[in-house]
Structure 1
Amino acid sequence: MEYRPAHTWERGCDSPLRDATPLLSLNLSAGFPGRAGVLRDLRLEVRKGEIVGLVGQSGCGKSTLALAILRLLYLKGGKAEGTIHFKDRDLLSLKESQMRLLRGREIALVLQSPIAALNPSLRIGTQMEEAWKVHARGTTAAECERAILRSFEDVALPPSTGVLRQYPSQLSVGQAQRVLIAMAILHRPALLIADEPTSALDINTQAEILELFATLSRKLGMGILFISHDLLSVATISDRVAVMDKGQIVECQETKTLFRNPSHPLTRRMLSALPSLRHLAEGDAGPAAEKSLKAS
């Protein structure tokens, strides 16, 4: 497998796109009827131009956190308490009408199942137009077209591929994920939440999508909360890694520090379960894993 240095180490902690002022800062608790404490005084920050990886075992509350930031827990009967500061506004204090203006425009979400997230009965171009018009009423057709083409160029899906004329069922999973990312960045959001965005992809496509997230963060100065159960994928692109357990952040360090000197027992157990470099060399764990460990 071809080796290329991980983006994490190229960007470094002193990247000019990194801002000392948190873009997102939260202290959050959340639960559901009959399931209190799914999130328990969870504290986390994401800065402009920074990629924060969030890892943890299944059921620890990672996806609940993503929904809580977007104030969508109510869709599953959940409730959040505490503070979610985004650009100096507490999202929990906003009216729902104000949140609707933020979702998709300033805070965007990419999910793990791209085919399921797209409308099977509409062409991709139509879905992109609808996503644009939600937050850009009054703009011209030409402005809409320019924005869509710009986003598709950003995710390496040029018009020559014909994707805009196709239906979701005609796309590969990798193409569909790029479409979702293009839709997410259409309005140039300040924060992108990526919830297990590579879990449905094959190993080679995973590596391409990871590289794409790193490129977009650098190019757009966008903060990214990258949620995954895969510590190696997170290490490939993250500036910092937060480890989550039972609704809390139990460790959060710069990526190199966490890999070299983990402080929490859960982090140490997760690292001890990673495949050895010998297995990586044999190709069992894929290029993303190889890149991250070789860089460390």
Structure 2
Amino acid sequence: MTPFVLGVIAVLLAGPVPALLARWKWLHHTPFASMVLWQAVALAAVLSAVGAGLSLITDSTWNKDHAPWGSTAAVLAGLLTVSVVIRLLISGHRVGTSLRATRRRHREQLDLVADRLGSHGRVRVLDHDVPVAYCVPGVGNPRVVVSGAALQRLEKRQLDAVFAHEKAHLKARHDLVLEAFTVLHRAFPAWVSSSAALREVRLLVEILADRAALRVGSPKDLAHALLAMASGRAPEGAMGVGTVDLVERVRVLGDLKPRPLQVFCLLAVSWALLVAPTALVVAPWLNEL
């Protein structure tokens, strides 16, 4: 029974649950707790998928009746578990290798064609007539990029908010969060995985960076900067301040009141999601001791 339950949980957490969560816009008002929830859903889905195979192996091995199908079921479960792990490893290698190569090439090109912005050592200015700002993550050598049009169009407070936004991405390593969800999304076929999780996490990391930007600028300053750069597009592998759901982000900026009860409930649900599949896998082992 345990393998079946874990399998159902894995399927639900991979597809229907993310599709449902993506419809709940009120989650955007508590971005940190909501991000924890999305990470818990993703990790619980993987734990459940792997745990289903491990539980079936355990049940078949410890079956006191030694049913003739036990060994076959254990072998099939083992192959399923190994295939899940291998798909994750292959997807992780492909996504990570591609992203790092793309970002490395882009940083090298920036150092050749872009100018440094005054005392901002990591900020590069591109001679471009479209207002745009983005960051290129990298261990030890990230870059923040802004176009000449953005420097001309935005006021100082708006520019400060934009720089704070991009630097928040780099400091919190939001690129690693997005990379992990990209790996999960590409590791499994479309009928199992949901693109809603990746879309929502992309939005949440932008909202988190928006919150960090409010430490140096007002919501009005940031909203004006976002709308001014609505036509800009960040290159592949970069994270742009104005490239993800501007309408929703501006809406969230208009309602910043704290929601401690919502935060507590989301963190509690996240904890339960991680504990449940773990307990189902571990319980048979504990019973045998």
When Rg is computed on C-alpha atoms for both structures, the one with the higher figure is 2
Structure with the higher fraction of residues in strand conformation: 1
* TM class by smaller structure: under 0.3
Q: Normalising by structure 1, report the TM-score.
A: 0.27
Higher helix share: 2
TM-score (norm 2): 0.27
